[in-house]
Amino acid sequence: MRLQGKTALVTGATSNIGRAIAVAYAAEGAHVVVSGRSKERGEQVVADIRAAGGRADFVQADLDGSARVSHALAEEAGRVLGGRIDILVNNAGIFPGDSTAATDEETFDRVYAVNVKAPYFLTGAVAPAMAARGDGVIINLGSWVARLGLGIGTLYASTKGAVETLTRAWSAEYGPAGVRVNAISPGVIRTPDLDPAVPHPGEVMMRGTPAGGSGAPEAIAHAAVYLAGDESAFVHGTVIDVDGGRVGAAVIAV
């Protein structure tokens, strides 16, 4: 129960990594707001958490990058959580796979809106109250592709590079007031909805890594629990790689 008495808002929490983080936080004693676009999936996550004895509520939000929507989510989540948000997890994001030449301006703007503008304005709505109290945690979800150049997914990679830069900048901005800001950089994650008999398209990216294959959403959730808890009290402005060694090590076949 490392997060007993804490409150948390997790965006993009209706599936995959966000869901795993919300479930893990609730299991550690936090009251969690599960946020996402799908009411049906969100309410199912809440039902699962409550069935396991945890506390959770669903707040629907389509984070389109507008300050209005981000501020409305912060306000409603704060109300549901009893007036304060102790932990904010900026997880919601979208991934377009087109090449640079095939990406149109509308797609470019939408991806930056969801992946960068939305967490920017949400953090701006939540962090000042944390700073005023002298305590709070903000965790951003980056990606290994932000630091290992690939010829695909360039737009997505650039947004995650922006998120990692914001992590360091927000740490400098809010850290002196007691708010810890860090990020997690996941590697290839095999989500539960995928058929285990069908090869994951990202598995090829994990060849030559110490792990040798993809990870599970729970691996990211474990890191998120660590960063939200007291054990990481001296961790500021950093990005934790939970990527099977993809960025940091290479295994040479002999």
Q: How much is the pTM?
A: 0.94
Residue 40: pLDDT band by 50, 70, 90 thresholds?
A: very high
Task: Give the start-to-end residue ranges of the domains of the chain.
Answer: 7-242
Q: Which class is 7-242 in CATH? A: alpha beta
What's the chain's average pLDDT?
93
Mean pLDDT, residues 227-234 = 97
Pairwise pLDDT comparison (197 vs 138), residue with the higher score = 138
| Residue 128 in this model has a pLDDT that exceeds 70 | yes
List the catalytic residue out of 120, 156, 174, 226: 156
Percent of the chain surpassing pLDDT 90: 80
Burial 16-35 (b: 16+ CB within 10 A, else e): bbbbbbbbbbbbbebbbbbb
**pLDDT tens-digit profile of 185-225?**
999 898 766 555 666 667 777 888 887 888 899 999 999 99
pLDDT of residue 163: 98
25 counts as catalytic: no
Q: Assess contact for 246 and 209: CB atoms under 8 A.
A: yes
Type of residue at 104: D
